[in-house]
Structure 1
Amino acid sequence: MDELGFHRTLHRLGTLLDVGAHEGGFTLPLAALPGSRVLAFEPLPESFARLRTAAGGLAHVTLRQEALGDATGEAVLRLPVVDGVPNGQWASLAKRYDGHGTHVGERQVAVPLRRLDEFGLDDLTAVKLDAEGAEYEVLRGAVETLRRCRPVLSIEIEERHRPGSTWAVPPFLDALGYDGFWEHWGDWRPMAGFDRATMQVASADPSVFAASDPYVFVFYFLPRELTPAMLDRLRKAEAGG
């Protein structure tokens, strides 16, 4: 099951949050779920422009050209430029891209920064979070919302973007009453079974694409009070039931 399959299987009416929406690869499928309202954040101007075009003025989709974090103000978004070509998908508030040789440069963009808790959401049911290393800060700025709404979460967490992030994020969510899992060939496994030394080996250099096999970087978090029922639904969906 992929990340979209996770959200389709566990879909509940309410607001769905897409953090790091890029050009709409998740925003549009989430918007197609029945009864959904989508709130999408994408701070990079070029990506936001393409996202706005792709969304096509859908009334139930709200787009915000802002980054999320644990403070309000302005932040510096850095994106790698490899052999003169910018890579917006790796734009990050948490890492730098200098130091990888003359073939890799860095472009900096000042972007607005907000906390999710500022928005006072009371019907958030699902979160997709892809913040290229800034996941911890996004979650810190969303504590009140997570406690109030109890959404399911899919989060991309990669050591190559933020060393120590796979150690920091799961315990933070555990303290908020979330159980963490990763999925491999239909088997939903708890975070305790994740082996960083063999399952997440990759270079921080944006021009190097080799990675371990498997390379596990999407993690799923379920509200503890709903974990048994939700895991059962996921496993049945995997089995075609």
Structure 2
Amino acid sequence: MKMLTKISRIAKNIYFELYSFSRNLLLIKNRKTDQRRRLDSSVLNCVVSYNKYGGYCIPKSSCHRPAARAVLKKRIWEPNTIQYVIDNCGEGDVIHAGTFFGDFLPAFSQAIDSRATVWAFEPNIESFRCAEITINLNDIQNVELRNTGLGEKSDFLRLATKDVNGVSLGGSSRILNHQPTNASGTEVVQIVTIDDTVEQNRHVSIIQLDVEGYEKQALAGAIQTINRCRPIIILEILPDSNLLDSDWFKDNILALGYRKTGEVHNNSIFRCNT
């Protein structure tokens, strides 16, 4: 009888130990799940890939985008655009807007003069954070990266970062022409001008814009810099844009002596003849 009582006591102790252990495991699991839920909006979900120019931090949400797909396959996105900048940047600074995750930054950084700077602009916060990591992966010291968009004046505007199905737009994120007070798939971003950002004592050799329909506003905010430096202007224009045929472009860019001299990929190249 004493033996049965002892066995019963031991069995109860084991049961309570197992119960307590299982309960603690469940609490730990729930706590980790709660932490993941809290961190989902702040933890950067990304992947690193490489090509001949260096390493890149790519947001997983944008791995379906063409530039991301190319780099994930160890290829170069828009190699001819990159090569054109390499061949023509000379001794001046390069302004690069629409930086995305920094797919042009390692190449531009290696190409520019030792005294020059790449001024990079990316308003999408997720893309900006990835571009920061791309800079660190390559130990880049000559890039000034800003978490801003470019416009004709300083402002705060809504940037569309997701499509109607909630899928990330990545490098196709765009400033909305009609500014809703609140809209899903958007974020409020800071807008700055090139003229206010790049010091007047800097010589700019190239302005390269991939700003998804906001080229006119970005150029309007760079008129002083364009007048002073006469840089090569490289514009990626959306198919439905009439910017190049507009009176504004004729009066403010072509009137300075600029002419279209070629194309690389979907980019139009303008050089000043005066």
Settle same-fold status: TM greater than 0.5: yes
Q: Report 1:50-199 matches (<5 A).
A: 50-56=130-136, 57-81=139-163, 83-94=165-176, 107-119=185-197, 120-121=199-200, 122-160=202-240, 163-168=241-246, 170-171=249-250, 172-183=252-263
Give the 3 Å change call, closer, same or farther, for CA 181–63 of structure 1 in structure 2.
Answer: same
Give the 3 Å change call, closer, same or farther, for CA 95–88 of structure 1 in structure 2.
Answer: farther
For the 8 Å contact 1:159–1:165, the answer to whether it is kept is: no
Give the 3 Å change call, closer, same or farther, for CA 7–170 of structure 1 in structure 2.
Answer: farther
For residue 183 of structure 1, give the secondary structure of its aligned residue in structure 2: strand
**Residue 10 (structure 1) aligns with:** 88
For residue 2 of structure 1, give the secondary structure of its aligned residue in structure 2: helix
**Residue 46 (structure 1) aligns with:** 126
1:133-159: per-residue Cα shift (whole Å, max 9, x none)? Answer: 000000000000001011112110113
For residue 24 of structure 1, give the secondary structure of its aligned residue in structure 2: coil
Q: Give distance in 2, aligned partners of 1:223 and 1:49.
A: 35
Q: Report 1:221-236 matches (<5 A).
A: 221-225=270-274
Instruction: Report 1 or 2 for greater relative contact order, CA contacts < 8 Å, sequence distance ≥ 6.
Output: 1
Opposite residue 139 of structure 1, the aligned amino acid is: L
Q: Give distance in 1, aligned partners of 2:140 and 2:89.
A: 19
Structure holding more strand per residue: 1
**Residue 208 (structure 1) aligns with:** none
1:71-122: per-residue Cα shift (whole Å, max 9, x none)? Answer: 11211111332643211211111457xxxxxxxx961110011111112343
Q: Give distance in 1, aligned partners of 2:96 and 2:117.
A: 11
Q: Give distance in 1, aligned partners of 2:170 and 2:82.
A: 21
**Equivalent pairs, count:** 185
**Residue 219 (structure 1) aligns with:** 268
Q: Give distance in 2, aligned partners of 1:45 and 1:219.
A: 27
Task: Report which stretch shifted further, 17-26 or 71-80.
Answer: 71-80
Structure holding more helix per residue: 2
Unaligned runs of 5+ in 1: 97-104, 185-215, 226-241
Deviation at 1:165, TM superposition (A): 2.7
1:159-198: per-residue Cα shift (whole Å, max 9, x none)? Answer: 34xx4234237524202321113337xxxxxxxxxxxxxx
Unaligned runs of 5+ in 2: 1-78
Opposite residue 132 of structure 2, the aligned amino acid is: R
1:26 aligns with 2:104: yes
Give the 3 Å change call, closer, same or farther, for CA 54–130 of structure 1 in structure 2.
Answer: same
Give the 3 Å change call, closer, same or farther, for CA 182–116 of structure 1 in structure 2.
Answer: same
1:23-59: per-residue Cα shift (whole Å, max 9, x none)? Answer: 1112221111141421100010000000000011522
For residue 32 of structure 1, give the secondary structure of its aligned residue in structure 2: helix
Superposition RMSD on alpha carbons, in Å?
2.3
Q: Give distance in 1, aligned partners of 2:236 and 2:92.
A: 22
Opposite residue 45 of structure 1, the aligned amino acid is: I
For residue 21 of structure 1, give the secondary structure of its aligned residue in structure 2: coil
With structure 1 as the length reference, what TM-score do the two structures score?
A: 0.70
